A and B are shown apart, each in its own frame.
Chain A
Amino acid sequence: MGKYTVRRLVIALPSLLGISLILFVLLALAPGDPFGELATNSNIPPEIREALRVKFGIDDPILIRYVRWLIAMLHGDWGFSFASRINVDQLILQRVPTTLFVVGSSQILALAIALPVGVYAAMRPYSIFDQIANTMAFIGFSLPTFFTGLLLILIFSVNLGWLPFVYRADIAATGWQWYWESFKQAIMPVAVLGLFQAASYTRYVRSAVLDVIRLDYVTTARSKGLNEAKVIIKHVVRNALIPVVTLVALQMPAVFGGAIVTEQIFRIPGIGSLLITAILANDTPVIMAVTFVFACLVVVFNLMADIIYGWLDPRISYR
């Protein structure tokens, strides 16, 4: 197990390097350029546009730019945003706490709903509870977040006037007031994201538990006279957690990466909105930095998932 982990960690480095190269080339080839908006501006002569391109080194060969980026990254220099003309790490660091808070809470909410509901529904398949849970889940993932977000705004902000719909990262209040305001403004975005996620998690949990609950060893454990709760928790849930762990590991990078649509709707200054603005402005250094951090998290969390499999089901052996 330990040896396996070490080996995987060693492989992770070159694989990240490979991913970073592909990301870099892809962004360099993607259409659009950071000074696009200048092109429609007749006040700026073409020479200046050209000078700007040279200044930011946009026209150098891709591989040279990649090596330059890599070396800078190794020195802790994340690059320089074309659009904001400041360092990229500064931009990202401003956004991290908000993203972690909003997307993190929504993930917790999703799991808090999906685990009990999914397990309970699977224990009594096709019962009334199961049917209702399923229908809610279907509604949950057939409605896109851009739609549900707006619906909540119309209900709770416009009609009832209970909640604000413009999210503010810095609230002027202090003490309890601050917590209350932060909580109030987070309710809608967390609910939109969390419920959307919970809908699909619930389906996966239910299916995973159903798969396990029918296996022989569960029947054996039951027949040994163990009480039902113990059977469910020790034998069923533990095995059923493998798909859930897989899914959670797939979602964890998003806790950093943010949720583009929801952040746009509620004006949450998170990484997702930073990324989308950067993409629309073709601000490549920012896109590269965000996607690279995201890639690192993908690799790390999937690695962690692989390790957790072994812990959940000791029979899984790695070679």
Chain B
Amino acid sequence: MAVASVVILAALTSAVLLGPFIWRVPINEIDFTARLSAPGWQHPFGTDDLGQDLLARMLYGGRISLAVGFAAMVVAIIAGTLIGAISGISRGSVDAVLMWITDLFLALPQLPLLLLVIYLFRDFLKNLVGPEGGVFILIVLVIGAFRWMPVARLVRAQFLSLREKEFVEAARALGATTPRLVVRHILPNSLGPVIVAGTIDVAAAIIAESTLSFLGLGFPPDIPTWGRLLFDAKDYLDIAPHWALFAGAAIFLTVLAINFIGDGLRDALDPRKVM
């Protein structure tokens, strides 16, 4: 399963990376005569309501969606694991402060904060790394910043429980230092929820990106990311179902593949394999 998934994921990635060089239809070629046409030879995935080719748009937008999905997931997972681990192992006032920060982030209202972030940082990042790069960094950080808290809480809970387990006690008695305890014994055993959270976060980030671009925070409105395609297509669901179908399927396939890879990873890491 995991191997098949790696193949699927590799296929998706290479499709979005190389696809635009093979399928050379421009993503913004408007053709009113072919609007909302169903999949066919001319447009394998059909067209949207401006007659733009959906295959070209899917391929182009896929780069961004996949990159955003992975990068945001990595940011969320690393931040969450780090904070959760430190909090869980140190307890006391460090724990209190870190959990206060977690509570704070959970309580922040997302929309006003997003608007504030665009307003404060967009021009700065645009000047620093250009419009597309700036938007990318911003989106990844914003999505990551709103999704690490569950990971932190989960990892911390795992730590609280695992640090008292027999095998950790045993290692401690053998004189293992705290960093070694964490890295070798506790962390590998708390990765279960982290892997699940990671796979869920990829899907969530791809979808969140569409919400952001809808708020004007994301990429310019004419860049067709998968989430955006799904969003634009929803009102045409009963008129032109193909529009939503391919974007939805692409997100689903990505999620599916990542999950199986995650499961495989977890089984491979686990010393006590169950088969």
Contact = CB atoms under 8 A, between A and B. Distances in A.
Interface of A: 11, 15, 18-19, 22-23, 26-27, 29-32, 125-126, 134-135, 138-139, 141-144, 146-147, 150-151, 154, 158, 200, 203-204, 207-208, 210-211, 213-217, 239, 242-243, 245-247, 249-250, 253, 275-276, 279, 287, 290-291, 294-295, 298-299, 302, 305, 309, 313, 315-319
Given A200-B200, A276-B111, A302 B103 contact: yes
Given A299-B103, A315-B165, A316-B160, 20 more contacts: A18-B100, A31-B116, A126-B1, A135-B256, A138-B256, A141-B200, A142-B248, A150-B234, A203-B196, A210-B274, A215-B165, A243-B157, A249-B153, A250-B153, A299-B107, A302-B102, A302-B103, A302-B106, A313-B161, A315-B164
B199 A151 contact: no
B165 to A, nearest CB: 8
B230 A214 contact: no
Interface of B: 1, 91-92, 96, 99-100, 102-104, 106-109, 111-113, 115-116, 119, 149-150, 153-154, 157-158, 160-161, 164-167, 189, 192-193, 195-196, 199-200, 203-204, 207, 210, 227, 230-231, 234, 237-238, 244, 248, 251-252, 254-256, 259, 266, 270, 272, 274
Given A141-B200, A210-B274, A316-B164, A30 B251 contact: no
A174 to B, nearest CB: 36
The prevalent SS among residues of B at the interface is helix
Nearest to A295: B107
Given A19-B103, A142-B251, A243-B157, A313 B164 contact: yes
A26 B266 CA distance: 40
A138 B255 contact: yes
Contact of B150 (A217, A239, A247): A247
A309 B157 contact: yes
30 contacts: A15-B103, A19-B104, A22-B104, A22-B108, A26-B113, A27-B109, A31-B119, A134-B259, A135-B256, A141-B200, A146-B234, A154-B238, A200-B200, A203-B259, A213-B274, A217-B166, A243-B192, A250-B150, A275-B109, A276-B111, A279-B109, A287-B109, A290-B109, A291-B107, A294-B107, A295-B107, A298-B106, A315-B165, A316-B164, A318-B91
Contacts of A213: 274
Given A11-B96, A27-B112, A147 B204 contact: no
Contact of B255 (A142, A158, A318): A142
Nearest to B105: A298
